[in-house]
Amino acid sequence: MDITLMPYAFFEGNMVPHEDAKVSIATHALQYGTGAFAGIRGYQDKSGSAINIFRLPDHVRRLLQSAQMLRADLPYGPEDVEKIIIDLVKKNAPNHNVYIRPLVYKAGIVLSPALTGIRDDLAIYVIPLDDYVDMSAPLKLMVSSWQRIEDNIIPSRGKFSGGYINSAFAKDQAAEAGCHDAIMLNRDGKVSEGSGANLFIVRNGTLITSPVTADILEGITRRSLVEFARDQGVPVEERAIDRSELYVADEVFLSGTGVQIAAVGTIDGRTVGGGERGPVTEMLQNVYFSTVRGEDTPYSHYVTSVPIE
């Protein structure tokens, strides 16, 4: 399904109508996948007069870390990128939830698949976005036969455009099999993550997620949920997860900016956690959603509220 862009984009240093944000077919990033991006949600505040962005500085930091790995040379520091994003949201004046997609990319027209000596740039667009997975019914997942890219191939902790070919193969296979999404294992055969989300299980009251060394993207939602759970007295372990633990877990859910916190009901045809959303999943959803919708929670400091005129 094609997406609809909001009227203004940030392109080559300016806010322009999105129709004018166009690149050459010979652009390095288009040819080689040499870009890095962020995916940031803005939630309409319960007052309706602001867009609440969850953990904006953390998203910008991860974007610039990915850019640094790509040896991108940008004229913007973290505060500049945050300000551009805030200004772009204001300029688009949304009256609905949005998703903001900043992209750092090798913009030069250079033939060699190198990293240096190529012009870099920053582009950002905004789209309207509500839940894109059905939050009312637990998801049907499968373990993919596609292995997660590993750190010494295309670093998963970088949110690199080209790395998402791996996600696309896994997601496509899952869709062909009638599943909502795929779970990918790493070279060690341990659970890594979903095609575009981190994965948690609950066993005997303990919340467990794969460690940052399991070829995962270091999710900002993941980090937040670990904090929420610990604050609620739920023990948390970051450790390798076996495939068969998925089948016997009391709860399984995916976490990410896009999927938010999505309960999983079946994996490889087995019903997990009774096929229903479990109590830890529900508690974390409640904390997350009340925070991003602008209610006063212990995590309200993670929200950047952008007033909309």
Shortest spacing between CB 201 and ligand PMP, in angstroms: 16
Write out the H or E segment, with its range, that includes residue 120: strand 120-128
Q: Where in 11-40 is the site for ligand PMP (CB under 6 A)?
A: 39
Indicate the angle between helix axes 56-69 and 78-92, nearest 10 degrees.
120
Shortest spacing between CB 20 and ligand PMP, in angstroms: 27
Catalytic position from the list 22, 46, 140, 159: 159
Q: Which is nearer to ligand PMP, 70 or 118 (CB)?
A: 70
Contacts with ligand PMP by CB under 6 A: the residue count is 15
Write out the H or E segment, with its range, that includes residue 82: helix 78-92
Stretch that binds ligand PMP, among 11-19, 220-228, 245-253, 266-274 (CB under 6 A): 220-228
Q: Which is nearer to ligand PMP, 97 or 255 (CB)?
A: 255
When asked if residue 220 is in the footprint of ligand PMP (CB under 6 A), the reply is yes
The span from the CA of 3 to the CA of 199, in Å, is 26
When asked if residue 219 is in the footprint of ligand PMP (CB under 6 A), the reply is yes
Region class of 232: left (phi > 0), else alpha (psi between -120 and 50), else beta: alpha
Q: Which of 33, 102, 138, 196 binds ligand PMP (CB under 6 A)?
A: 196
Looking at residue 169, what DSSP letter applies? H
Q: Where in 252-281 is the site for ligand PMP (CB under 6 A)?
A: 255-258
Stretch that binds ligand PMP, among 44-52, 107-115, 175-183, 251-259 (CB under 6 A): 251-259
Stretch that binds ligand PMP, among 101-109, 240-248, 250-258, 293-301 (CB under 6 A): 250-258
Please count the other Cβ atoms lying within 10 Å of the Cβ belonging to residue 117: 11
Distance of CA 221 to the CA centre of its chain: 8
Write out the H or E segment, with its range, that includes residue 128: strand 120-128
Q: How far apart are the first and last CA of the chain?
A: 30
Q: Where in 174-193 is the site for ligand PMP (CB under 6 A)?
A: 193
Shortest spacing between CB 16 and ligand PMP, in angstroms: 26
Q: Which is nearer to ligand PMP, 34 or 167 (CB)?
A: 167
* Among candidate residues 232, 288, 279, 222, the one with its CA nearest the CA of residue 255: 222
Residue with tokens 């940031």: 40
Q: Which of 185, 222, 249, 303 binds ligand PMP (CB under 6 A)?
A: 222
The span from the CA of 73 to the CA of 120, in Å, is 6
When asked if residue 197 is in the footprint of ligand PMP (CB under 6 A), the reply is yes
Q: Which is nearer to ligand PMP, 91 or 157 (CB)?
A: 157
159 tagged catalytic:
yes
Distance of CA 9 to the CA centre of its chain: 20
Given a contact cutoff of 8 angstroms between Cβ atoms, the answer to whether 109 and 28 are in contact is yes
Distance of CA 61 to the CA centre of its chain: 14
Instruction: Give me the residues that bind ligand PMP (CB under 6 A), please.
Output: 39, 167, 193, 196-198, 217, 219-222, 255-258
Catalytic residues: 159
